[in-house]
């Protein structure tokens, strides 16, 4: 079998065209969605992601601002900034770029963001609402993955989805969203004994490990849908995923590439969430 490639870059582009329409209507009604991104410290990878987010936002008519803070920022200073943004009616979405410098507790920061502005979907209130299937901000990478599957009418209901990785931002929530779509979900991780025994049974395989090309074709069931969430920078500067793409393409029915796969979809979903925040739609304050 030769897999079809789900190009996230092209799909994200299509979604941005749709969103641009919607945003221009909002603007005509006097509402310009605004995203504020907070970047603490000087991590070059973070800086490049943030640039991508600003560019995508401006493409759809969402305004954005970037608050840059030094590496030495204290937790208290960051809390105060977030509280100010929480109270600012001109700011609809707040994104604090992760990872944060080690003197700052990430979970405390996430919990300081008003749930009504939590466009990352990382606040415990957002996570709880996702678990119970309520309307809320969905975390962008898992939301992007589900959108990619739906774009190709890939059946999720009744399928066995195997997730490799259990991070709070990808592995855990993508399993929850697949469960919400009636998949049977198995979580694997670094301590899983005999990983291959699980992945070979996956109809939908989600690789979010963080190790370049770790998932070779022998991990993949014939005809499986393989979603590669890895972003690994090689010594030669090239970006590669967690999946050995050339091997996967021979065996899977669908694969997502890296780059041009899940990454651009993550940003597109951030824009969707920002529009939702501007419209005040997530069930907040109830």
Q: Tell whether residue 267 is a contact of ligand GUE (CB under 6 A).
A: yes
Q: Tell whether residue 171 is a contact of ligand GUE (CB under 6 A).
A: no
Q: How many residues make contact with ligand GUE (CB under 6 A)? A: 19
> Judged by CB, which is closer to ligand GUE: 52, or 101?
52
> Judged by CB, which is closer to ligand GUE: 52, or 210?
52
Binding mask 58-87 for ligand GUE (x = CB under 6 A): ------------------------------
> Judged by CB, which is closer to ligand GUE: 171, or 198?
171
The residue annotated as part of the active site, out of 120, 203, 228, 242, is 120
Q: Tell whether residue 142 is a contact of ligand GUE (CB under 6 A).
A: no
**Is 102 among the residues known to form the active site?**
no
Binding mask 24-63 for ligand GUE (x = CB under 6 A): ------------------------xx--x-----------
Residue 166 assigned as binding residue: yes
**Is 120 among the residues known to form the active site?**
yes
Residue 231 assigned as binding residue: yes
> Judged by CB, which is closer to ligand GUE: 98, or 281?
98
**Is 71 among the residues known to form the active site?**
no
Stretch in the footprint of ligand GUE (CB under 6 A) among 23-31, 142-150, 179-187, 263-271: 263-271
- C-alpha to C-alpha distance for 59 and 241, rounded to whole angstroms: 27
Residue 167 assigned as binding residue: yes
> 81, 111 in Cβ contact below 8 A?
no
Assign residue 41 a region (left: φ > 0; alpha: ψ between -120 and 50; beta: otherwise): left
- C-alpha to C-alpha distance for 191 and 204, rounded to whole angstroms: 21
Q: Which of 281, 283, 284, 279 is nearest to 32 (CA)?
A: 279
> 107, 75 in Cβ contact below 8 A?
no
Assign residue 284 a region (left: φ > 0; alpha: ψ between -120 and 50; beta: otherwise): beta
Considering only residues 201-260, where is the footprint of ligand GUE by CB under 6 A? Answer: 231, 239, 258-260
> 249, 3 in Cβ contact below 8 A?
yes
User: Which value, to the nearest 10 degrees, does the dihedral of the CA atoms of residues 102, 107, 113, 116 take?
Assistant: 150
Task: Dihedral sign for Cα 262, 41, 121, 173, please.
Answer: positive
Q: Is the peptide bond before 259 cis (omega within 30 degrees of 0)?
A: yes
Question: Which DSSP letter does residue 12 get?
Answer: H
> Which residues lie near ligand GUE (CB under 6 A)?
48-49, 52, 95-98, 120, 140, 231, 239, 258-261, 263-264, 266-267
Active site residues: 53, 97, 120
Annotated binding site for NADP(+): 165-167, 231
């Amino acid at each position: 079998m030769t897999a079809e490639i789900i190009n996230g870059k092209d799909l994200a582009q299509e979604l941005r065209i749709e969103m641009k329409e919607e945003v221009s209507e909002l603007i005509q009604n006097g509402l310009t969605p605004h995203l504020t991104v907070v970047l603490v410290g000087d991590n070059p990878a973070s800086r490049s992601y943030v640039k991508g987010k600003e560019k995508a936002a401006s493409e759809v008519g969402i305004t954005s601002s970037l608050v840059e803070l030094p590496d030495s920022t204290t937790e208290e200073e960051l809390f105060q900034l977030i509280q100010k943004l929480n109270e600012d009616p001109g700011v609809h979405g707040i994104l604090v770029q992760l990872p944060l410098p080690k003197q700052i507790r990430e979970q405390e920061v996430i919990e300081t963001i008003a749930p009504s502005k939590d466009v990352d979907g990382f606040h415990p209130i957002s996570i709880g609402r996702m678990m119970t299937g309520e309307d809320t901000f969905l975390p962008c990478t898992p939301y992007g993955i589900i959108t990619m599957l739906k774009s190709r009418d890939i059946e999720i209901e009744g399928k066995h989805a195997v997730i490799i990785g259990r991070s709070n931002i990808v592995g855990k929530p993508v399993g929850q969203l697949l469960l919400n779509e009636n998949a049977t979900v198995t979580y694997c991780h670094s301590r899983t004994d005999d990983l291959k025994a699980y992945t070979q049974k996956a109809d939908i395989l989600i690789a979010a490990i963080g190790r370049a090309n770790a998932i070779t074709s022998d991990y993949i069931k014939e005809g499986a849908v393989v979603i590669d969430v890895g972003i690994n920078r090689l010594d030669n500067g090239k970006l590669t995923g967690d999946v050995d793409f050339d091997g996967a393409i021979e065996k899977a029915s669908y694969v997502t590439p890296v780059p041009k796969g899940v990454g651009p979809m993550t940003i597109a979903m951030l824009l969707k969430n920002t529009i939702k925040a501007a419209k005040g739609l997530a069930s907040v304050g109830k």
